[in-house]
Amino acid sequence: MLDFSKNLIDDDIWGALVALAEAAGVRERTSAMFAGEHINNTEDRAVLHTALRLPADASLTVDGQDVVADVHETLGRMRHVAEAVRSGAWTGATGQPIRNVVNVGIGGSDLGPLMVYRALSDYREDLTCHFVSNVDPTHMHETLRFLDPAETMFLIASKTFTTQETMANANSAKAWLLAGLESAGGLSGADLDGAVAKHFMALSTNAEGVAAFGIDPNNMFGFWDWVGGRYSVDSAIGMSLMLAIGPEEFDQFLAGFHEMDQHFQTAPLAENLPVIMGLLGIWYRNFLDFETHAVLPYSQYLERFPAYLQQLDMESNGKSTKLDGSPVDHETGPIIWGEPGTNGQHAFYQLIHQGTSVVPADLIGVVNPANDVGGQHDLLMANLFAQAEALAFGKTGEEVEAQGISVALVNHKTFSGNRPTNMILADELTPGIVGQLIALYEHKVFVQGTIWGVNSFDQWGVELGKELARGIVPELTSDADPDLNHDGSTNALINHYRATRRR
Ligand code: G6Q
């Protein structure tokens, strides 16, 4: 349920915004996306994450590929392996069942599975999943410190299987596994050589890279170039989730996405949840000049949802170039930020209530909690409703004075109100609802990208830093002092690092 009654719009503005969606061709571009047209023009690709959640009896052939058959063939293989691991039939190299799963991936190959794993942790059973993304070796070290190699499975999640951070972490995971199985597990020779096949899976589109790493092709679960990284949690990249919650619940997760996909395709624009949220965001960003947008879940299970949306939204619509290559002449994606609500109340809500910036926010609540200790859920929900009320209606100086507050403090205790929020209430945090929620935001981002005229499915802005880092690596690792040709600031930083590090 989306309540958008606390927004700064009236009927005229709303009518004009809906007309804008029509004029910008939201409907036409939606049809083009679902049909598999190459709307990702800078990479000449279809954009078909929606095909990942089509039911098995649907049909869609794109660029000569029977997409639905391929998706369900992979899902079937994933299901088979997930059941074997979950039941204990799949054992590691020393014969022990798998108890810990470590997803090694970054960006779209990390944020989605991690966020959903947290969101659905009430659904998980014996397996524990861990997520290592950062190339900082501390991340892997702290994750593996208390794990037993004999009962640990690594999922190397990388669409390209070339990502520097993920490959570095995958290699250190392999070294840790083999060293541990050799020393504590007593394995050697062929048993040790065969261990990678029992403890590693790959979630990737790059079969050659996976084989070169030494992962058994039978343990590789593929997807396709028409699935963008940040849109891939419902592909094989979700394997950790399937292992944690089981194939049936994973099916429900996909069904939730599909339900929202259908709503998005068929509901009239003015009653279409992703369209409504997209248009409100356009109103605030382009017409009222609000620069940021907060996502504030009142659910601890959704603690990583803001971080997930940061990537989904900012990597998709943080662009200054239009589809045709010309520069935009209007603002595009807002800065997305947020934290679980009640924690935020005791931290940054001061600025949201009384700061000089207006921060439109999505407040997300769950009506029926998975667990309710001591009636605390009503307390949580009271805070949720109170914040939205306070932000919208504020408190006037007269109201403050009427409470007998000294004149000197009246302005300090006055709240302007008119600070807009959306309220999203989910009946329960089930796999299906989480799927719906993700698809809601995927399509919101799509609507906005369409109106702004940008390609929401490329991410050229992440390339320059990667390219420069590749050049700097040898300048840090070389024994001899390198000949540095950066700007003066960067040269000085590299020299400082080389001179002060202790090795
Ligand atoms: C997402 C981006 C990016 C990507 C990572 C990991 O849309 O493309 O976040 O997911 O760079 O890439 P790999 O999965 O190829 O390792």
The DSSP annotation for 145-190 comes to TT--GGGEEEEEE-SSS--HHHHHHHHHHHHHHHHHHHHTS---HH
**pLDDT score at 193:** 86
Q: Which residues contact 300 (CB under 8 A, 6 or more apart)?
A: 340
Place 51 in a pLDDT band, splitting at 50, 70 and 90: very high
**pLDDT score at 21:** 98
Q: Which of the residues are catalytic?
A: 315, 346, 466
Q: Which residue has the tokens 């990583």?
A: 304
Give the residue, out of 106, 206, 237, 446, with the most ligand 1 atoms within 8 A of its beta carbon, to mutate for a pocket test.
106
Q: Which residue has the tokens 């989306």?
A: 2
Å from CA of 158 to ligand 1 middle: 7
Q: In 10 A of CB 399, how many CB atoms?
A: 14
User: Does the pLDDT value for residue 369 go beyond 90?
Assistant: yes
Give the residue, out of 160, 226, 464, with the most ligand 1 atoms within 8 A of its beta carbon, to mutate for a pocket test.
160
Question: What token pair was written down for 389?
Answer: 């009320």
In ligand 1, which atom is closest to the CA atom of 163? 16
**pLDDT score at 503:** 82
As a whole number of Å, the end-to-end CA separation of the chain is 57
Q: Look at the pTM and tell me if it is higher than 0.95.
A: yes
Give the residue, out of 109, 203, 220, 455, with the most ligand 1 atoms within 8 A of its beta carbon, to mutate for a pocket test.
109
Residues 216, 397 contacting (CB under 8 angstroms)? no
pLDDT in tens, 437-477: 999 999 999 999 999 999 999 999 999 999 999 999 999 99
Residue nearest to atom 11 of ligand 1 (CA): 107
- Does residue 106 line the site of ligand 1, with CB under 6 A? yes
Report the residue count for the chain: 503
- Does residue 292 line the site of ligand 1, with CB under 6 A? no
Q: Which residue has the tokens 């390609």?
A: 455
Instruction: Give the pairing type, strands 2-3 and 421-428.
Output: antiparallel
Q: Which residues contact 298 (CB under 8 A, 6 or more apart)?
A: 340, 341, 342, 363, 364, 365, 366, 380, 381, 383, 384
> In one letter, which amino acid is 139?
H
**pLDDT score at 201:** 98
Report, as an integer, the average pLDDT of 424-445: 98
Residues 151, 102 contacting (CB under 8 angstroms)? no
Rounded to an integer, what distance in angstroms lies between the CA atom of residue 300 and that of residue 428? 13
Report, as an integer, the average pLDDT of 64-72: 96
Query: Which run of H or of E encompasses 202?
Result: strand 200-204
User: Does the pLDDT value for residue 37 go beyond 90?
Assistant: yes
- Does residue 313 line the site of ligand 1, with CB under 6 A? no
Question: Backbone phi, then psi, for 148, in 5-degree steps?
Answer: -105, 120
Å from CA of 71 to ligand 1 middle: 20
- Does residue 422 line the site of ligand 1, with CB under 6 A? no
Residues 156, 204 contacting (CB under 8 angstroms)? yes
Å from CA of 459 to ligand 1 middle: 9
Å from CA of 225 to ligand 1 middle: 12
pLDDT in tens, 146-192: 999 999 999 999 999 999 999 999 999 999 999 999 998 889 988 89
Report, as an integer, the average pLDDT of 339-346: 95
Question: Backbone phi, then psi, for 223, in 5-degree steps?
Answer: -145, -160
Report, as an integer, the average pLDDT of 231-240: 98
**pLDDT score at 184:** 87
Question: Backbone phi, then psi, for 355, in 5-degree steps?
Answer: -70, 175
**pLDDT score at 333:** 98
Q: In whole angstroms, how large is the CA radius of gyration of the chain?
A: 25
User: Does the pLDDT value for residue 104 go beyond 90?
Assistant: yes
Helices (H), 36-163: 67-87, 111-119, 137-144
CA-CA distances (angstroms) from residue 220 to 75, 103, 236, 454? 12, 14, 9, 34
**pLDDT score at 190:** 86
Residue nearest to atom 2 of ligand 1 (CA): 229
**pLDDT score at 70:** 97
Q: In 10 A of CB 308, how many CB atoms?
A: 26
In ligand 1, which atom is closest to the CA atom of 228? 7
Task: Report the percentage of the chain scoring pLDDT > 70.
Answer: 100
Order of strands, sheet of 2-3, starting from the edge strand that comes earlier in the sequence: 2-3, 421-428, 361-368, 292-298, 335-337
Report, as an integer, the average pLDDT of 312-337: 98
